[in-house]
Amino acid sequence: MKGKKIGYAMCGSFCTFSRALDAIAALRAAGAEIVPIMSDAAYGTDTRFGTSLYFRSAIRQMTGREIVHTITEAEPLGPAEPLDALVIAPCTGNTLAKLANGITDTAVTLAAKAHLRNLRPVIIGVSTNDALGAAAQNIGKLLSRRRIYFVPMAQDIELGESIQFNLLSPWVQIGCMAHIVGCKFIKS
């Protein structure tokens, strides 16, 4: 991953933030440069899973960069400031719906739109409790889209209601590497 610039975008699935930090740490350890991106919800919401200040500070410290969190900051992440790959993990049901339907009103969705102009991969780690409900059609749409890849997802047995990415850290890392070298590793 040395010399690769990976956009790492986080949406408002706060219960998976600590796993997302693990994925960022794994990508950094593998040598990648990380451009952190957060949706408004992810950037500014305090929840029982931790304060937004705590997560923002941790991400700034791990990546050595300011967090892209406005559409103005995200817009250059296309031809102007290209990324090698863009990871969106956790990706909420809300952001899935926007991505599937061409809505680009957050830093994450605009980063994806800008990045796809460069014909480079977007890797999505879904985390939502309506993956078999309202989000199912959006996952289906995105599965069939070129250059969009999914981290393997599974029913969250513990909660009995969520579908979330699992084994996030190794899968994101392997996914980024595979797609950068042009092989279709995750998407069948």
Ligand X SMILES: Cc1cc2nc3c(=O)[nH]c(=O)nc-3n(C[C@H](O)[C@H](O)[C@H](O)COP(=O)(O)O)c2cc1C
Cα distances from 37 to residues 69, 115, 157, in angstroms, run 6, 13, 29
- Give how far the C-alpha of residue 166 lies from the chain's centroid of Cα atoms, to the nearest Å: 14
55 dihedral zone (left: phi>0; alpha: psi -120 to 50; beta):
alpha
State the nearest-atom distance from the C-beta of 110 to ligand X, in Å.
11
Is residue 14 within the footprint of ligand X (CB under 6 A)?
yes
Q: Which listed residue (67, 74, 84, 94) binds ligand X by CB under 6 A?
A: 94
* Closer CB to ligand X, 118 or 129, in the complex: 129
**Interacting residue with ligand X among 63, 92, 169, 173 (CB under 6 A):** 92
Interacting stretch for ligand X, rule CB under 6 A, among 20-28, 69-77, 93-101, 153-161?
Answer: 93-101
Concatenated DSSP letters of 40-68 = HHHHH--BTTB-HHHHHHHHHHHHSSPPB
Place of tokens 């460069």: 118
Nearer to ligand X among residue 29 and residue 134 (C-beta): 134
**Of the ranges 11-19, 60-68, 74-82, 117-125, which one interacts with ligand X (CB under 6 A)?**
11-19
User: Which positions from 96 to 115 touch ligand X by CB under 6 A, shown as an x/- string?
Assistant: ----------x---------
Q: Looking at residues 122 to 141 of the shown chain, list those that interact with ligand X (rule: CB under 6 A).
A: 127-128
Q: Would you say the C-alpha torsion 82, 173, 182, 149 has a positive or negative sign?
A: negative
Contacts of 81 (CB under 8 A, 6+ apart): none
- Shortest approach of ligand X to residue 93 CB, angstroms? 4
Question: CA-CA distance, 52 to 56, in Å (whole number)?
Answer: 6
> What distance, in Å, lies between the first and last C-alpha atoms of the chain?
23
* Shortest distance in whole angstroms from residue 51 CB to ligand X: 12
Q: Considering the complex, state which of residue 12 and residue 121 has its C-beta at the smaller distance from ligand X.
A: 12
Site for ligand X in 26-85 (CB under 6 A): 39, 41-42, 47
